[in-house]
Amino acid sequence: MRDKSDIGVIGLATMGKNIALNFLDHGQLVSVWNLESELSSNFNLEFHQDNLFCASTLEEFVNSIARPRRILMMIKAGDPIDQMIYKLKKFLSKGDIVIDGGNTHFNDTQRRHSELEIEGIHFVGMGVSGGESGARYGPSIMFGGSDKAWETLKDQLSIIAAKSDLGTCVTRVGTDGAGHFVKMVHNGIEYGDMQLIAESYDILNRGLKLSPEKISAIFEKWNDGALESYLIELTAVVLSKKDTITEKPMIELILDVAEQKGTGRWAVESALNLGIPIPTIAAAVDARAISSQKASRVIAAQQLRSSSEETNLSTKLDTDLIGQALLAAKLCAYAQGIQLISAGSKAFSWKINLAKSTAVWTGGCIIRAKLLKTIIEALSKTPKVDNLLLAPSLINLVKATTPALRKVNLESIALGIPIPAFSASLAWYDAISSEKLPQNLTQAQRDAFGAHMYERIDEPGKKRHTKWID
């Protein structure tokens, strides 16, 4: 008779299938179940082995797992999660652990954690980064759940997680929604990073008139230095790819419309709710929305742009300057994201260790980068720093790269090249480093039209109202 499984996986689409195979590769006994039975049958036919059990019913699936049961759901976020929990509950026992490994909004995770806790069932919100390859060979894992659930699962998760120079890329971020919150911010930083890379490509292509092949070589060179990262490396590969039919660069044949699944938007919404500005990330979300307005953009380009608006202008930019600007803007994106995690930690009493939580991003995940090690070192030395850019070990790098960011903004704007993430990064940097801002006028206006009162600089802490109009 077959032994009970060490873990069960619900959902055999791309991520579920690959993470199940990852567990099997590491000697785990795995049960799987999928709502569409055809996927389960195909999975069994392709990967049949003694350690795998493909259940035909949900009850059979649950009963095949050793107690306390550990059930990982890799299914679509939203109502399908609630429906699956409802179906599972009738077969579960106290002490069992249900894990949501999808991109779920942290508020939903908090609610589910509270609801199941009453019934003695542990609910875990687990951020999983790395895409198909990560799930198969080692993802970055951000665990949000109880101490008890973590102690039960940490060894199992450690064997399948990515490994980096800093160790195994899995950690308990905090309780209930903490794991999904950190994964949401991770995705927001990813949005910002990707947009900054896209804008760099656009400047090199439209501003410096370089071909995708030459730009690919530039990204390869950047990947040998401070900008080394998975996304920079991937960009070099993408830009070098040729279409087998036309022999043209593949990038030139792809429609300039970027889709999104919502995690970037969630990050922006959460930042607004918590009062944390993340303009680089917000600009990246907006850029994808603008890209979707293709038909409108074509008409506007014909009616609003002069034919000589871009072509008659020269630029003083060079590839090194653009690379330095990209590094500076990336720092801004990370700083904004980390400030958001810190705010979320305080608001929800998660007590997130910023250095440990970002360390799991150094392997397996989409935003793994050389720069992260510098950031983690800074967070380790100054864990309570209000803004990452103010960390003593980063100040010299910030000062060295910001002039390039300013130059790239000036030149790109003159060329008419849209750079929403670059410009948002610089505007944020200038604002946070300005001792005086014009919001004294804003507050005076609020008092003038709405009697909202203001505070005088020579009477700190005291609210006043002025009759502005006679």
Query: Annotated binding residue at 241?
Result: no
Enumerate residues 6+ apart whose C-beta is below 8 A from 197.
231, 232, 235, 326
Token couple for 375: 């950031």
For residue 112, what are the contacts with CB-CB under 8 A and spacing of at least 6? 81, 82, 85, 100, 123, 125
**Token pair recorded at residue 136:** 């198969």
319-347 and 279-291 are packed helices; what angle lies between their axes, rounded to 10 degrees? 110
457's CB contacts (< 8 A; 6+ apart) are none
190 and 127 Cβ atoms separated by less than 8 Å: no
Closest CA to 255 of 302, 207, 295, 195: 295
What DSSP line would sit under 370-434, residue for residue? HHHHHHHHHHHH-TT-SSGGGSHHHHHHHHHHHHHHHHHHHHHHHHT---HHHHHHHHHHHHHT-
Instruction: Give me Rg for the CA atoms of the chain.
Output: 25
Whole-number Å distance between alpha carbons of 361 and 341: 14
**225 annotated binding-site participant:** no
- Which of 453, 226, 184, 415 shows the shortest CA–CA distance to 320? 226
Set 94, 115, 132, 183: catalytic member: 183
SS3 187: helix
**CB environment 160-177: b (16+ within 10 A), e (fewer):** bbbebebebbbbbbbbbb
Residue 446, marked binder: yes
**Residue 261 annotated as binding site:** yes
H helix or E strand, kind and range, residue 127? strand 122-129
Q: What's the rounded Cα separation, in Å, for the pair 314 and 411?
A: 9
117 a catalytic residue: no
**Side-chain half-sphere of 464: how many Cα atoms within 13 Å?**
12
Determine whether the annotation assigns residue 129 to a binding site.
yes
Active-site annotation holder among 17, 190, 330, 411: 190
Ranges assigned E (strand) in 11-67:
30-33, 52-54
Residue 22 in marked binding region: no
Coil, helix or strand for 40? helix
Active site residue 190: yes
Q: Is 297 part of any known ligand binding site? A: no
Residues 6+ apart with CB under 8 A from 48: none
308 is in an annotated binding site: no
The annotation status of 163 as a binding-site residue, yes or no, is: no
Q: Which residues contact 331 (CB under 8 A, 6 or more apart)?
A: 371, 388, 389, 394, 397, 398, 401
Tell me the binding residues.
103, 129-131, 186-187, 191, 261, 288, 446, 452
Tell me the binding residues for substrate.
103, 129-131, 186-187, 191, 261, 288, 446, 452
Catalytic residues: 183, 190
